[in-house]
Amino acid sequence: MFKMIDLPYSYDALEPYIDAKTVEIHYSKHHQGYLNNLNKVLEGYEVFVGEKTIEEILSDVENIPEKIKDDVLFHGGGYANHNFYWSLLTPNGGGSPDGKLMDAIVRDFGSYENFKDQMVNVSTGVRGSGWGFLATNSDGKLSIVKTYNHGNPLSQGLTPLLTIDVWEHAYYLNYQNRRKEYVEKIFNILNWDRIEDLYNNSL
Ligand code: MN
């Protein structure tokens, strides 16, 4: 049985960028729902799960039993992506990255501003429901990846460093159809210290 993570801040902590009602429903209904469905799908598959983390399962798609593969990728991806999303946001966020991550951003995107523009445009451009990610390969090369539904770059052999949920439930109460504005505002609450740690640990 996988368990719900604690939200590392109160529902209203991300205001004005993400309103309290959106965080509450997103965490306690949507995120919780993916977890509940994942655990239901995995009933009878305890041997397959063993001690694996959800990230390990998503990294090794070929070994997910065929009968439950689609459901595990959807609900397990939904569970993992939301765990990750909340962990990257903080009321004390914003600014820009530092250190090796900043060096890699300049190397791979030309500048932080170029990276940000691409991250905003790729995330905003997801057709339908999905996620925008910054990810790294095993050589430390960065790329921006969009996924549909609850896809995760782990399933493509990449390590995710940052994600933006662009499902309508992530922003619709406050931003309605203005997805791009929501994506741009997210940069005010990104926890770059944590994202830098993820990058440094992946090298
Ligand atoms: Mn979501």
Residue 191, helix vs strand vs coil? coil
Q: How far is the CA of 137 from the centre of ligand 1 (A)?
A: 25
- Ligand 1 centroid – CA 193 distance (Å): 23
> Residue 185: its pLDDT value, please?
98
Cα of 110 from ligand 1 centre, angstroms: 30
| Cα(123) to centroid(ligand 1), Å | 13
pLDDT tens-digit map of 68-108: 999 999 999 999 999 999 999 999 999 999 999 999 999 99
- Residues 13-57 pLDDT 10s: 999 999 999 999 999 999 999 999 999 999 999 999 999 999 999
Full-prediction pTM beyond 0.85? yes
The Å distance, Cα 109 to ligand 1 centre, comes to 27
Query: CA 154 to CA 49: how far, in whole Å?
Result: 17
3-class SS of residue 144 = strand
Q: Which amino acid is at 111?
A: S
* Nearest by Cα to 62 from 159, 155, 150: 155
CB distance 189 to 152 below 8 Å:
no
> Tell me: the pLDDT tens digits for 150-191?
999 999 999 999 999 999 999 999 999 999 999 999 999 999
Closest CA to 5 of 65, 56, 79: 79
What's the CA-to-centroid distance between 3 and ligand 1, angstroms?
A: 17
CA of 82 relative to ligand 1 center, distance in Å: 6
CA gap 97, 140 in Å, rounded? 15
Tokens 């995710």 belong to 160
